[in-house]
Amino acid sequence: MKIFVCIKQVPDTETKIKITPDQNGIDTAGVKWVMNPYDEYAVEEAVKLRDANAGSQVWVLSAGPKARVIESLRTALAMGADEAIVINAENLDNYSTAKALAEVIKAEGGAKVIFSGKLAIDDNASSVSQMMAEFLNVPHTTVVSKFAFNGENVVVERDVEGGAKEVVQMMTPAVVAANKGLNMPRYASLPGIMKAKKKVIKEVEFSSLNIPATDIKLKYTGFTLPADKPPVKMLSGDSSAQAAQLVSLLRDEAKVL
């Protein structure tokens, strides 16, 4: 069977973000790009499923600037994925990204399970996996922390409000969006890294998918950085004096009392 994993390349959390002069995006110069952390859980679960089912293959795919995104695809290959596809595109919104991923998966055919992360840490939209499943006309669930497969359906456990768990059974093919705790992603081995460097990655141009320009519905504008946090105030004196100062600051400055 074919197991697909949809990943996204995002800025590293330690990257210092700068806004472009026109405030319509981020300045990508000097940005360190990595695979979205939640997608690592998706890759790991796909590889585990492949290993438990002889003859299966893991296909990993991503949409974005080809020259950059290939790096994350090679990371997934080094973790154990078999094949990779890059959809060469610029400035896609979540809707057109989901549609492009769905079109490529349909073209490849044979999808049994499609994994993704529950969200990307750059925009926190948490919407691509659901929209992709709708374009594929298959069942889906997200925030998945436990996964089981029996050949004809999948049974997943997902986190819901209040710390409770919800169990969902879905017929395959199905889309499963991974949450932290689903597994422990493996580190790419040196042999895996060397093998991934030689792997041919299939390239698909976004323009070849016949997705109308009108389907790119969202344009991002007006980017601003959050305001700088005020300096920390150190309280002096004994515990009674500190308590009095703290109450005064919470009442008069923070105005939370």
What digits encode the pLDDT tens for the residues 134-168? Answer: 999 999 999 999 999 998 899 999 988 888 899 99
**Does 211 score more than 70 pLDDT?**
yes
Q: Read off the pLDDT band of 218 (50, 70, 90).
A: low
- What is the per-residue pLDDT for 217? 63
pLDDT in tens, 39-64: 999 999 999 999 999 999 999 999 99
- What is the per-residue pLDDT for 140? 96
pLDDT in tens, 159-171: 888 888 999 999 9
C-alpha radius of gyration, the chain, whole number:
22
* Distance in angstroms (rounded) separating the CA atoms of residues 75 and 176: 21
Residue owning tokens 């922390």: 145
Indicate where the chain has its CATH 3.40.50.620 domain(s): 2-215
**Does 18 score more than 80 pLDDT?**
yes
- What is the per-residue pLDDT for 13? 87
Of 194, 184, 191, 176, nearest in space to 118 by CA: 176
Contact 223, 26 (CB under 8 A): yes
- What is the per-residue pLDDT for 91? 82
In CATH, the number for domain 2-215 is: 3.40.50.620
Put residue 131 in one of left, alpha, beta given phi > 0 → left and psi -120 to 50 → alpha. alpha
